[in-house]
Amino acid sequence: MAIGEITGIVAGTAFASRQELYDSRIHRTLRAGIVGSGSTGAESIVLSGGYVDDQDLGSEIIYTGHGGRDPATGRQIADQVFTRQNQALVTSCLQGLPVRVIRGSEHDAPQSPDAGYRYDGLYRVESYWHASGADGFLVCRFRLLALTSDRAQPSVVSADRSSSVGAAPRIMSTVLRIVRDTAVSRRVKELHHFQCQACGIRLECEGGPYAEAAHIRPLGAPHDGPDLMGNVLCLCPNHHVLFDNGAFGIADDFSFIGLGGRLRTSADHIIDRANLDYQRGMWGRS
């Protein structure tokens, strides 16, 4: 899998054909609109006018999932479900992974290229849901938002950065969240089967489980915690917020401080106690 940017190919790069997209590894299939799997997330999508329910607002895209169509007429003849390529986009949403977006000339939108295809940079899958499509069957829908100051969103991002103190950190935190969902955090979630290490809950969403990776010693200045498994916990959103905001700490024997119970551990997930000590120190529990 190749999630994220492809080295040497910037947003705005034009491609004459699906074969060129394929050869460049920007979109690694010749026919399907979505590349990816439920286990790894979606690499890329192509907007090529296949679905009447798609909406393209530039930096925001409402994208219709795959399946349930009559190949002869293009009409929807069955409900779409959150499996296969649709599940790939669900995984991208639940794990905060970036998706490459390509627009084709057949796609009916002002942003579409005049001919061929254009890579328009990285988007994140902000949400997903089922909806009744134009033909009366359920379709899987995904809201994608542009991540970076690429062609799809040039003025918005630059305006935010220059004129609004509040907006820039929001954009940066979005990007950081993406960067943070690394192979390390995915591995930790998988080791714990997406169960919270504080309460044991596993949130079962339509299309897959959801958990968050919490860094014990925070990333970034001034803490400069490492993105290593020994510094990452698998937590539910509630316990992630509580932990990040000092509601509890974790003793060296993994019992909680400020909360009943103890950390659920795995023999394959060795936690660096120096990071626990650092987090305790941040909240006066040294």
Minimum distance from CB of 280 to Zn ion (Å)? 19
Residue pair 234/192 in contact (Cβ under 8 Å)? The answer is yes
The stretch among 79-87, 181-189, 234-242, 262-270 that binds Zn ion (CB under 5 A) is 234-242
Minimum distance from CB of 74 to Zn ion (Å)? 45
User: Among 280, 161, 265, 275, which residue's Cα sits nearest to residue 219?
Assistant: 275
**198 makes contact with Zn ion (CB under 5 A):** yes
**Where would I find the H helices in the chain?**
18-24, 84-95, 154-163, 167-180, 183-191, 237-244, 273-282
Minimum CB distance to Zn ion smaller for 261 or for 281: 261
Minimum CB distance to Zn ion smaller for 140 or for 236: 236
Count of residues of this chain found to bind Zn ion when the rule CB under 5 A is applied: 5
**239 makes contact with Zn ion (CB under 5 A):** yes
Minimum distance from CB of 242 to Zn ion (Å)? 8
**236 makes contact with Zn ion (CB under 5 A):** yes
β pairing state of 41-47 and 98-104: parallel
**196 makes contact with Zn ion (CB under 5 A):** yes
Minimum distance from CB of 263 to Zn ion (Å)? 11
The stretch among 53-61, 104-112, 181-189, 233-241 that binds Zn ion (CB under 5 A) is 233-241
Rounded Cα gap, residues 152 and 57, in angstroms: 9
List, as own/partner pairs, every contact residues 74-79 make where C-beta atoms lie below 8 angstroms and the sequence separation is at least 24, other chains included: 74/50, 75/135, 76/133, 76/134, 76/135, 76/136, 76/137, 76/139, 77/135, 77/137, 78/137, 79/137, 79/138, 79/139
User: In this structure, what DSSP letter does residue 46 have?
Assistant: E
Minimum CB distance to Zn ion smaller for 17 or for 265: 265
The stretch among 98-106, 134-142, 160-168, 239-247 that binds Zn ion (CB under 5 A) is 239-247
Tell me which residues in 26-55 interact with Zn ion (CB under 5 A).
none
Minimum distance from CB of 255 to Zn ion (Å)? 16
- Report in angstroms the alpha-carbon separations of 278 from 11, 84, 250, 256: 40, 42, 10, 15
Site residues for Zn ion per CB under 5 A: 196, 198-199, 236, 239
